[in-house]
Amino acid sequence: MPAKQKASIDGRALSELTRFLLLAAVLSLGLTPHILLANTATIDAPTQVQSDATLRRILAEALKAASSISDATERASTYNSIAMVEWQIGATKEAQRHFDLAHRISLQMPQDDLTCAIRQGMNEERGSVDDLEGALRNLSDCGPHSPPSDEQDNILVNMARHELKSGDFVSAIPRILSVARPDVRDGALAYDAQIVAASGHFEEALNFANRITAIALRITTLSQIASAYVKHGQTEKATQVLQTCLQAASEIPRLKKPTTTGKSTPLEPNPDWSAYNTIAVALADTGAFRQGIAIADQFLDGEDKEWVLMQIALTTPE
């Protein structure tokens, strides 16, 4: 077997070993929550010391294995994974050191599209655990196909998601609104609105959804929030949200200019008009079957209308 191929196999094997050790560390966290709650009075001190020592040993073994990985890509990714675990257990200085080490290793790799994707992915993971300063410091310049601004946007989105998981809704919204690309910003607002609504925080979810600039996406997201209201037995609130959706849908033109240029090019159907499909079905979910059918009759035709009426029929009680 060629030496280069053997080294690659050895690198993957060591990387798998290190991942196993990291998994053990994560499981250790799950089985010993007092590591994260060291000041809780009910924790037995000797047990805590023993668990902390076990966790330090696991991470030491993982670091030892990582240093022996010959493949640079595997080594960088492994150090980044170790840093993720370290950060989550409060060892932030060690985590920052290993995040930076992973980044430096990536700079020694062939600077192609794959390396760029790996480096950006590691940096976005770093942002997802709340190390925004470190992530922004190591922004990559991967050329016009993936500029640093895109990576920064993804880091900000991940940071906002971390804040949401921590229950910090106030910080999450301005974080997302600072994202430069409108489509990325709108997508993050829509995704996070659904997460927040599913947890029963409806006012916060509406705050996210109402900031979406793309009308069709805003309507879809508001309809999903209305469905969450229904699941929580708040049908009246759901109906109010859907009336807001109808008002927003009135801004959508039925026809739009085609993407191709030409003075005599006719207008084409606007795909955003399908927002009425979503509203009609969502209204039926609230029990407003007649209103859902009326919307289908007024705004839809062809296969769209047939599909909506079928969905409404499936939700109508016998």
pLDDT at 199 exceeding the cut of 70: yes
Q: How confident is the model at residue 19 (pLDDT cuts 50, 70, 90)?
A: low
Q: If you average pLDDT over residues 79-103, what whole number do you get?
A: 87
Do 255 and 270 contact (CB within 8 A), yes or no?
yes
pLDDT digits (tens, 9 = 90+) for 250-265: 999 998 888 766 566 7
Among 3-7, 56-60, 92-96, 303-307, where is mean pLDDT lowest? 3-7
- Which of 39-48, 128-137, 206-215, 308-317 has the highest average model confidence (pLDDT)? 206-215
Rg of the chain over Cα atoms, rounded to whole angstroms, equals 25
Residues with Cβ < 8 Å from 15, sequence gap 6 or more? 69, 71, 74, 75, 77, 78
- 91 pLDDT band, cuts 50/70/90, is confident
- Look at residue 133 in the predicted model and tell me its pLDDT: 77
pLDDT of residue 147: 57
Entry pTM: 0.64
Tokens matching residue 192: 């996070």
73: left (phi over 0), alpha (psi -120 to 50) or beta: alpha
Hey, what CATH topology would domain 186-253+270-318 get?
A: 1.25.40
Ranges for all domains in the chain classified under CATH 1.25.40.10: 186-253+270-318
Q: What is the pLDDT of residues 249-304, one digit of tens each?
A: 999 999 888 876 656 678 888 999 999 999 999 999 999 999 999 999 999 999 99
CA atoms of 197 and 208, how far apart (whole Å): 10
The whole-angstrom separation of Cα 173 and Cα 157 is 10
β-pairing, 268-269 with 255-256?
antiparallel
Q: Which amino acid is at 126?
A: R
Residue 3 — pLDDT band, cuts 50, 70, 90? very low
Identity at 125, one-letter amino acid code: E
DSSP assignments along the chain, one per residue = --HHHHHHHHHHHHHHHHHHHHHHHHHHHHH-GGGT-TT-TTS-HHHHHHHHHHHHHHHHHHHHHHHT---HHHHHHHHHHHHHHHHHTT-HHHHHHHHHHHHHHHHTS--SHHHHHHHHHHHHHHHHTT-HHHHHHT-----TTS-HHHHHHHHHHHHHHHHHHTT-HHHHHHHHHT-SSHHHHHHHHHHHHHHHHHTT-HHHHHHHHTT--SHHHHHHHHHHHHHHHHHTT-HHHHHHHHHHHHHHHTTS-SEE--SS--TTPPPEE-GGGGHHHHHHHHHHHTT-HHHHHHHHHHH--HHHHHHHHHHHHHHS--
pLDDT at 134 over 50: yes
1 falls in which pLDDT band (50, 70, 90)?
very low
Q: CA 3, CA 209: separation in Å to the nearest integer?
A: 56
